Amino acid sequence: MNEYHEKPGLHVVTLYAQVHKLEEIEELVTKHEIKYPIAMDAFWDAGYQAPGLPKMWIIGADGKVKFAGMSGYSKVLDEELAKVKYPGLAKDKVHSALEPAAKLFVAGKYAEAHKAAETLYDETDDEAVEEDASYIMKRIEALLNTLSVRAETAEAMKDYALAMKCWEQLAAFKGLDDAEEAPERLKKLQGSDDVKKEIAAKRALLAEMLLLDLGYAEIDATDAEQVKKFREKCLETYKKFAADNKGTGAAERANELIGIFKELLGIKD
């Protein structure tokens, strides 16, 4: 998967769906030098069902599922990757005059690609060239805008790890106006004690959630009294966490969980 993750045009994401301590998961990630994202709490929300593990889904460039199974996926994956000529551009064909701009885009030289497309757009009388040049410029501008909005939103939501990743990616758009502040914004977050505190709190909450998952696996889920006691334990755990980490986004998330368990226990505020 690390090798596939490096292939242009392919995004590898792991949806974690087992029960381990956070330290055990981190140890495996380090041991195997896993480079692709691991979604720790999004598996069931994503709507995918996996009666056995590991389960693989391949989603094509058209957004449709091309494969779902536990093995034999490589042939389908290679076939789908072969269809992607310009990774990230969301367009398989461009006018020959725009191929240099498209290749600059694929290489991550977005400012140069934008300039090359803009120059052709200004100089041509060919509608086909003008159309593809406009497409490339708008694609770059859309990606830049999406990352900018995502970075700002992540900061506002105190999801600083995501914000830093977005500012880091925005730095690749150097030379375009909306990307100029990216390096400074990234540096500011990296040097902030509040950001470090928030990231630590978010990790600590995830660790608590995984420990509770382990605890739930040990009870008889058909025994109403055991389930009630487990929910009470969850409620007290999240109350303590929220108090200990007051003022953080992780505490806000813990308060949301407190509300859920109060509702499950029939406790009214």
Domain 2-82 sits in which CATH superfamily? Glutaredoxin (3.40.30.10)
Q: Where in the chain is the domain with CATH 3.40.30.10?
A: 2-82
Label residues 81-96 b or e (16+ Cβ within 10 Å = b).
beebebebbeeeebbe
- Residue 244 banded pLDDT, cuts 50, 70, 90: very high
Instruction: Tell me which residue of 137, 108, 143 sits closest to 121, measured CA to CA.
Output: 137
Average pLDDT over residues 30-55: 79
Return the pLDDT at 45: 57
Return the pLDDT at 41: 64
Q: How far apart are CA 107 and CA 143, in angstroms?
A: 15
- For 249-267, the pLDDT digits (tens) are 999 999 999 999 999 999 9
Return the pLDDT at 50: 77
Look-up: residue for tokens 């460039």?
Answer: 61
Contacts of 135 (CB under 8 A, 6+ apart): 91, 94
Query: Average pLDDT over the chain, rounded to whole?
Result: 92
User: Could you tell me if 163 and 154 are in contact, meaning their C-beta atoms sit under 8 angstroms apart?
Assistant: yes
Q: How far apart are CA 132 and CA 165, in angstroms?
A: 30
